[in-house]
Structure 1
Amino acid sequence: MNREIDDSKQVVIQVGAVLKKLRKERQLSLENLSEISGVSKLTLGNIERGETNPTIGVLWKISKSLSIPLMALFSSGSSVNVSRAGSGLRIFGDDGNWAVEPIFQNPNPNNEIEMCRAYLQPHSSYYPERHHPNTTELATVMAGTITINVNKESYILNEYDSISFDANETHSYINETNDVVVLHILLKYGV
């Protein structure tokens, strides 16, 4: 258990360091980044110092404002990464029913592809913010059954089924079952 806490804390510190580096490279003050992202200056400072574990909504706002893929905030700087299920940081949605676990954290903030595991609790739903323009979202169900709505159309996916759609469209994930749904999600950013 302590190892898991240590790993999560290390990722929080790493996200803060990456954010600070990107902000300084773009010659933005905390106040400037706060204005363009809609995230408070206090929250941004806490993230940079590794003092808080931000929600996925906050990280999306930051990544969109910097025009970078979300996973660029998790850059490890290594050319070889191994991602073990359940051993990394989980970023939670505002209600705690949706959790995302980054799989590969590419050191290149201009990376066009990112991948994560997502977990949706039983009898819950997740309504993400629209992603970057020209982004394709691909989701594969690894465990369970889920309904994915894209622009008011519903698609029921079972284990190992996949779906691909424009991630800038209105979409949601709904788990009406008694089991946690596990997804692998790949985001491909357009040029």
Structure 2
Amino acid sequence: MAIEGKDRQRVLETGAQVLSGNLGKTVQRLRKAYNLSLSELAEQSGVAKSIISQIERNETNPTLATIWRLSQALDVSIERVLASGDDEPFIDRSSRADTPILLSDDGKMRLAIIGWIKTVEWLQWYDLRSEPGGVLDSEAHQRGSVECLSVIEGEFEVEVGGVVQAARTGETLRYRCDRPHIVRCIGNAPGRATMVCILKAAVMD
């Protein structure tokens, strides 16, 4: 993949940095944020699965070309991938271009990952926007996980284990998400909500 203009300059400047031990963790957290397997990330980035595995375990010092391909596949800037945790500012800003977007299978729901990538293993949150009739059909998360859907606009319903509950603007649904669950945007208007997933590490048994 060609690197042009300002991106080329950024890569050259970043190349002078010393890669920290946080690189592997960063790649792994980004991959999990997208729910990608090693094989899927390898296919999307063109980087061998074995190399990605070694990077995540900090067993190799990858080239800038490899890091660039991974950053493109993970939809983040190369600077974000290479950044050292100790050097990060107290106030961190993510641009719209740096915010990963997920789409439901029907293409009607759009989830922007607005949570901090460092908490993805135990806390995830999203800005959810949906066309009328949008459906998000999700597999079970790890045992003990809970999801919270706070409706900002429109009306949604959640189905878990055959039980269905609806919520309108200003209302919140909380439900176990360690089993298959479905979120639907009902009614004739578009919907918007904040979705927070609290994984087992932060949930009481």
Shift in Å, 1:106: 4.1
Shift in Å, 1:125: 1.3
Amino acid corresponding to residue 114 of structure 2 in structure 1: I
Which protein is bigger by CA-based radius of gyration?
A: 2
- What is the CA deviation profile of residues 77-131 of structure 1, one whole-angstrom value per residue up to 9, with x for unaligned ones? 5532457899944222233211111223243565x32221111211221101222
Q: Does 1:79 align with 2:90?
A: yes
Q: Does 1:94 align with 2:105?
A: yes
Q: Does 1:153 align with 2:155?
A: no
TM-score by length of 2: 0.56
User: In terms of mean alpha carbon deviation, does 140-149 or 167-176 score higher?
Assistant: 167-176
Compared CA separation, residues 83 and 161, structure 1 to 2 (3 A): farther
How many percent of aligned residue pairs carry the same amino acid?
Answer: 10
In structure 2, C-alpha distance between the alignment counterparts of 1:87 and 1:160, rounded to whole Å:
28
| 2:138 alignment partner, SS class | coil
- Equivalenced residue count is 143
Which residue does the alignment assign to 1:121?
131
Q: Does 1:48 align with 2:70?
A: yes
In structure 2, C-alpha distance between the alignment counterparts of 1:189 and 1:167, rounded to whole Å:
9
Q: Does 1:22 align with 2:12?
A: no
| 2:24 alignment partner, SS class | helix
Kept in 2: contact 1:114–1:186 (CA 8 A):
yes
Compared CA separation, residues 81 and 103, structure 1 to 2 (3 A): farther
User: In terms of mean alpha carbon deviation, does 77-86 or 128-137 score higher?
Assistant: 77-86
Kept in 2: contact 1:83–1:104 (CA 8 A):
no
| 1:107 alignment partner, SS class | helix
Kept in 2: contact 1:100–1:118 (CA 8 A):
yes
Kept in 2: contact 1:81–1:104 (CA 8 A):
no
Candidates 182, 188, 192, aligned match of 1:178: 188
Shift in Å, 1:136: 1.0
TM-score by length of 1: 0.59
Q: Any runs of at least 4 consecutive aligned residues in structure 1 with deviations exceeding 6 A, and if so which?
A: 23-26, 83-87
| 1:178 alignment partner, SS class | coil
Q: Does 1:142 align with 2:152?
A: yes
Unpaired segments of 5 or more residues in structure 2?
Answer: 1-21, 29-35, 48-68, 76-80
Shift in Å, 1:188: 1.0
In structure 2, C-alpha distance between the alignment counterparts of 1:172 and 1:102, rounded to whole Å:
18
Shift in Å, 1:159: 0.6
Which residue does the alignment assign to 1:57?
none
| 2:158 alignment partner, SS class | strand
Which residue does the alignment assign to 2:53?
none
| 1:131 alignment partner, SS class | coil
